[in-house]
Structures are given as C-alpha cells and as structure tokens.
Amino acid sequence: MEILKTDVLIVGSGIAGLWYAYRMADFGNVLLITKKESSESNTNYAQGGIAAALGEDDSPAIHYEDTIKAGEGLAKENIVKIVCEEGPRLVYELYHLGVEFLTYHNSLGKLRFELGKEGGHSRRRIVHVKDYTGYAIEKTLIKKVKEKNVKIIENCFLTNLLVEENTCFGAYALSQKEKKFIKIISNLTLLATGGLGQVYLHTTNPPIATGDGIAIAFEKGAKIANMEFIQFHPTSLFGKKINNRAFLISEAVRGEGGILKTIDGKTFMEKYHPLGCLAPRDVVALAIDRELKKRKEEYVLLDLTHLNPEKVKTRFPHIYETCLNFGIDITKQPIPVVPAAHYICGGILINEYGETAIKNLLAAGETACSGMHGANRLASNSLLESLVFAERAYLKSKELLKEKRIPKNLNLKVEKLCEEDKKIEELVKRLKKLMWDKVGIVRNDKDLTSAVEELHELKEEIYKILEKGVNISSLEAKNMILCGLLIAYSASLRKESRGLHFNINHPEKDDINFKKDTILTKDDIFK
C-alpha cells in the first residue's frame, strides 16, 4: 500500500475544495483527491450563478432578509449574516482571479456586474457567466490551484477516514486506475465531496454525487443535520438524460421571463403563490407535482417563445444548444420539464468555521450543513455558501496547522478489493425507486415508516456484501443507502410541513415542536 503524508488533505474538487486548496497552498503541503476528473462536480453544473449583494439597489441586509425568509425558520441568523456580508468581497476576488463574470460600465464609468434574478430574490443579484457559471469558476480555480503546485490525484475514491479518539488524521482512498489503496496521513482534512442526488431516480446531479463524504463522516461519528430537506429542482428537461443525469433548466430562465404552463397551454403558478413563476423553488416544485398528479400528466411546459429569440440565445447558450440537440428549439417551442432531486440542505453539521464534531475534520459546500439554507435553499446561494465556508475553513486551518500532533502508529482495517457484484446494481435500483416513491416531493407517515424499514434491510444487505471485499460500486451503494436512510429517518421524525419537507399527514408548520434542527449520529441509526 502506498503511504502519502501531507499537511492538508482535501477530498473533492468543486468550488469549496478548490478555493480552500488555493488559500491553504501558501501555508503547507496540500493534496487534493477527486473522485473523477477534476472538473466533474455539482459546481460544474451550476448554470444560474452565484448570489451576492452587488447591485446599486441591494445590500447584504436585504440579501439576509430574503435568505431568512426562504429558510422557513431554520436558517441560522448568524450564519446567514456572515455569508451575505462576506460574499461580495469573495466574488470580486473570483473576478480578479480571472472568472469572466459578465460586466458593464455604468454612466460614471464604474465597473458593475450584470446581475440576473431568480425565484425568492427581491433584487437582481445573480452574478453569472451566461448559463455556465459553475464551469467558468471551476476552470479558473483549477488553473490557479495548479499554479500553486497543489498535488491533485484524479480518479481517487475516498473509502474511509483515519479517526482515532475522535480526531481525524487523514484518510484511506482507492486509486481507480491503479486499483490499489492509498493511506494518506494529514494534519487537517477537508471534506468537500458535494451532494447525493443519485440517491433518487431523477436527479440533476452527476453520477459521482453519491453522498460519500456525508456517509463516511457519519460512520466515523460526525453529527449529521437536516437531511430531510431535499431540494427538488422544479425544471429539469423531461425524458432526456445526459450521462445518467437529468439536464437542468436553470431557474434564471424563469427569472428572465419564462412562463410555466400545463400541456394545454394554461398558466397555473398564480394559483400557488403571489410571485407566480418566480416563487421559491420548493413552492414551484410542489405546484408542478400537484398539477401533474391532478391532470395525470408526465410533464409541464416552460415557455420562452414570447421572449426575444436573440436575447434567449445570448443569455442561455448552453441550454439553447443542448435542447436543440434534443430537437427542441426553445425560441420556438416550449420546453417539457419535470422536477428532479437537485440539492441537499442538510449534511455534516459544521460550526461557523467549517469544523465538524470530529477534531481536525472540516467540511464545506453541499456535503456540509452550516445552517445557511435552513429548510429551503434560496437559488444561487449554494456557490456563495461554498465559497464563504471554504474561506472560513482556511482562516481556522491556519491556526489549527500550528498544532501538529499525528500519532506514530495509525491502524485501520483495510478492506480487500473484489470483483463487481451483480447484486449491487439491483440494490441501487431498489434504493432509487424507493426514495422517489416514498421519500420524494410529497410524503406521508405510512410511506416514511415503510421506507425506513426497507432502507434498514438494504443496509444489512450491502454490509454483508462488503464483508467479502469492496470495490467502488459497492462502496458507493453503501454510501447512497446510508444517505437514503438518514433522509427517510429524519423525515419520519419531522411531524410537520416546512420548506422542502411536505407531509400530507401534517400539512401545517409546527413552530412549537419543530422549529429546530434534526440532528442524528450513528447511535440513532445503528441501534
């Protein structure tokens, strides 16, 4: 087995992992491992942009109010304040590093960002690079990280964390190309492993989004919070998938005037919210779900045909070209759309500096739960939160690095590699269908109870398979099943409807009993 030593280990190559690597490279040796090629992450598919109070009619205080409102009583006020206040400076830093955000000069000759608007925002505050913002940010940060000689190992899968006496000293990883385990000893470890959308049958997330960081940290004793709050993006392209991922039609499309209609051309969002098509995405997803069930139809339409065709092509070139490749000219035909699992508001519980319940283990980005989003994420706040918490983790890590105390002998059972098991594919299919049918947009007590029982059975099945040996497919399946169980169990505990969690047996919000986080540890699940 290869043994590597580093000051800082980063797992994940989205905006959180890359920004932290860029910052930490000046303070020690940094090793970043990533599951796929360095550009593959949820950040890469963030079309809309990054929210920041940079408009002349905007302020961090107004952004704060919008975020708190969307969070439905669970967004942590101190965290939201930190992110909204620190965000604008960091967005300017990204711009000065070379991210080609769209800009213009006002009448006084001052540089201004071209700002988009999305659901739930009371101001135009979405800084963007047309409709491929995430890709543009990653491209720039990867270049900067490589310039600082950060070592990047691609196609390297996190298999376990080295934890002794509730302190993390690194990790075990599996090199997919060389088919061998690597023991990485580090003073600090940051998990930036992204989301878990692949737990669901329909998702906008890439195939790598299997909840690895959340599941592994959970197994090692970290606290996990608010897993019931899954954001279903209301508008993914119906009937077409790219690499097992539903193609996302950005919320910015509705921000620029796109209108949701039923198949027969009737508008419906005005029945559900005063903001109509610009309502927060949980409201829009729930409204679409209700219309589909009521009308027994498979999709609704997102209509841009009334907008200026050239403006649509210029603002959304990636969406235009992708849909055109599928035979849909969005300037002439409405887009068939359906909700899909998109973002997890919960994750590994962290404090205001990205620290977890395990010493020297930090987390940032979608894999973490900072309290920024509460019960519902405001559009385009995710890249902002990732950036701010990567920055704050860096500020804390500079201090933590001064205390280098790695034990001489670190022992952990290393699994043996084995061939693919045909049962794994079947287990994952069962998981995805179960989560979509029973722990989806609309939930009920009976289904949630049943789902928890079935997920426990899946958990036992996967652990038995892993006893014979491991491979990436079986480890991913284990991580997805654990995340599914955390989602379902958390949802079963919340006997109310709030934000992204809607239970038809408890349709009202209950602030007396449930205006609090749902926090789980392995003792709650492995009873």
Q: Please provide the size of the chain in residues.
A: 527
Biggest CA–CA distance in the chain, Å, is 69
CB neighbours of residue 457 within 10 Å: 11
Q: How far apart are CA 367 and CA 348, in angstroms?
A: 6
Phi-psi region of 499 (alpha: psi -120 to 50; beta: other; left: phi over 0): left
Q: How far apart are CA 59 and CA 38, in angstroms?
A: 34
C-alpha distances in angstroms, 368 versus 4, 10, 144? 26, 14, 24
CB neighbours of residue 71 within 10 Å: 26
* 405 counts as catalytic: no
Q: Which of 125, 281, 494, 498 is catalytic?
A: 281
The residue type of 395 is L
Q: Where are the beta strands (DSSP E) in 106-198?
A: 111-113, 115-116, 126-127, 151-153, 156-164, 167-175, 180-191
Residues contacting residue 65 through CB under 8 Å, at least 6 positions apart: 122
C-alpha distances in angstroms, 488 versus 31, 72, 200, 455? 35, 20, 12, 8
Residues contacting residue 451 through CB under 8 Å, at least 6 positions apart: 434, 435, 438, 439, 488, 492
Q: Residue 187: which of 10, 370, 350 has the closest Cα? A: 10
CB neighbours of residue 220 within 10 Å: 18
Q: Where are the beta strands (DSSP E) in 279-356?
A: 300-303, 335-344, 347-349
Name the strands in the sheet holding 300-303, side by side, starting at the edge strand that comes first in the sequence: 245-248, 230-242, 335-344, 300-303, 259-261
The catalytic residues are: 281
